[in-house]
């Protein structure tokens, strides 16, 4: 496993490190770096300053020590993203190992995490999305290990449902994902669904899964709700509401209707052309 990690890290570094600052500065990068510089100048006043713009502050906090290490602020921000991306590659391999995939599949999944353009571009920019993805992946990993632990051990309810370290680690990582970017809430159903695989498909298995899912959500959302105690929190939630729109507007807008119609027609077309091939395998 150590050799696999070292091989993937070497592959990742070759793809990510060269000409790290050659990409033009993205607007969000400049904003985040400036917020981190403000924290360095006056932590007491600017520690939660990003909440005024509807942004959770974890990435900004992690960026501040990198500004002390690197003289170039852009290099500091992108170096943080490179470190986060390395963690993402390792997390993907560990998730593949937990699902008990083969060594070849683990290697392939790690190489995809290192080389896919969607990952590569975020690992070379000082933006929050890489940290969000890493923490959601770790949350899914720990929650899956918790449900595996739960389904394979007959323990007391208190220890099995409350005291398992995997549950608290999963909930903690998801809380940190929310502190990285609030859009992590979209991944919550996916993380909970991943944890269903170790359970048997029965009424008892469904009950156990729903219970641990509720515990996971309650702990992570409960921790995040503590953010509401901060005086700036009203500004934060007000900014988030600005980007929301009622679903009725989505389904009545002409462009949205055209996009949905295109997706439906394409699905019908692709289904009609691939169905004979699909049936030939039976």
Domain ranges of the chain: 2-268
Tokens describing residue 80: 């943080």
186 burial class (0-12, 13-18, 19+ CB within 10 angstroms)? Answer: exposed
pTM, 2 dp: 0.80
Residue 130 CB: number of other CB atoms within 10 A? 25
Burial 4-17 (b: 16+ CB within 10 A, else e): eeeebeebbeebbe
Q: What is the CA radius of gyration of the chain?
A: 22
- CA–CA gap between residue 67 and residue 94 (Å, rounded): 30
Query: What's the distance, CA 248 to chain centroid?
Result: 28
CA distance 173 to 54: 20
Q: Which two tokens stand for residue 268?
A: 């019908």
Closest CA to 132 of 195, 85, 166: 85
In this prediction, residue 261 has a pLDDT band, given cuts at 50, 70 and 90, of confident
Q: How confident is the model at residue 236 (pLDDT cuts 50, 70, 90)?
A: low
Tell me phi and psi for residue 11, to 5 degrees.
-60, -40
Q: In percent, how much of the chain has pLDDT > 70?
A: 76
**Contact criterion met (CB below 8 Å) for 48 and 230:** yes
Is residue 275 predicted with pLDDT exceeding 90? Answer: no
Residues 77, 29 contacting (CB under 8 angstroms): yes
Mean pLDDT, the chain, rounded, equals: 82
User: Which of the four pLDDT bands, split at 50, 70 and 90, describes residue 271?
Assistant: very low
Residue 237 is predicted with a pLDDT of 61
Q: What is the C-alpha to C-alpha distance for residues 198 and 151, in angstroms, rounded to an integer?
A: 6
Distances from the Cα of 226 to the Cα of 27, 122, 202, 234, 267, angstroms: 30, 29, 36, 13, 44
């Amino acid at each position: 496993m150590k050799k696999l990690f070292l091989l993937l890290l070497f592959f990742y570094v070759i793809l990510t490190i060269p000409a790290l600052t050659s990409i033009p500065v993205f607007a969000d990068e400049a904003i985040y770096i400036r917020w981190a510089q403000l924290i360095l100048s006056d932590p007491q006043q600017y520690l939660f300053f990003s909440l005024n713009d509807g942004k959770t502050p974890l990435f900004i906090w992690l960026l501040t020590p990198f500004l002390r290490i690197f003289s170039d602020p852009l290099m500091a921000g992108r170096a943080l993203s490179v470190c986060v991306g390395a963690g993402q590659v390792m997390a993907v391999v560990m998730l593949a190992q937990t699902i008990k995939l083969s060594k070849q599949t683990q290697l392939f999944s790690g190489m995809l995490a290192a080389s896919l353009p969607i990952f590569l571009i975020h690992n070379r920019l000082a933006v929050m999305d890489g940290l969000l993805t890493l923490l959601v992946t770790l949350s899914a990993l720990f929650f899956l290990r918790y449900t595996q632990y739960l389904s394979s051990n007959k323990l007391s309810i208190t220890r099995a449902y409350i005291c398992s370290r995997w549950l608290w680690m999963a909930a903690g990582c998801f809380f940190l994902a929310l502190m990285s970017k609030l859009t992590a809430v979209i991944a919550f159903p996916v993380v909970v669904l991943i944890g269903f695989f170790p359970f048997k498909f029965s009424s008892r298995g469904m009950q156990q899964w729903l219970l641990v899912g509720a515990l996971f959500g309650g702990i992570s959302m409960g921790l995040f709700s503590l953010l509401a105690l901060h005086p700036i929190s009203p500004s934060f939630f007000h900014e988030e509401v600005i980007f929301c729109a009622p679903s009725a507007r989505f389904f009545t807008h002409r462009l949205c209707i055209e996009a949905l119609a295109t997706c439906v027609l394409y699905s019908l077309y692709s289904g009609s052309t691939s169905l004979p091939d699909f049936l030939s395998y039976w």
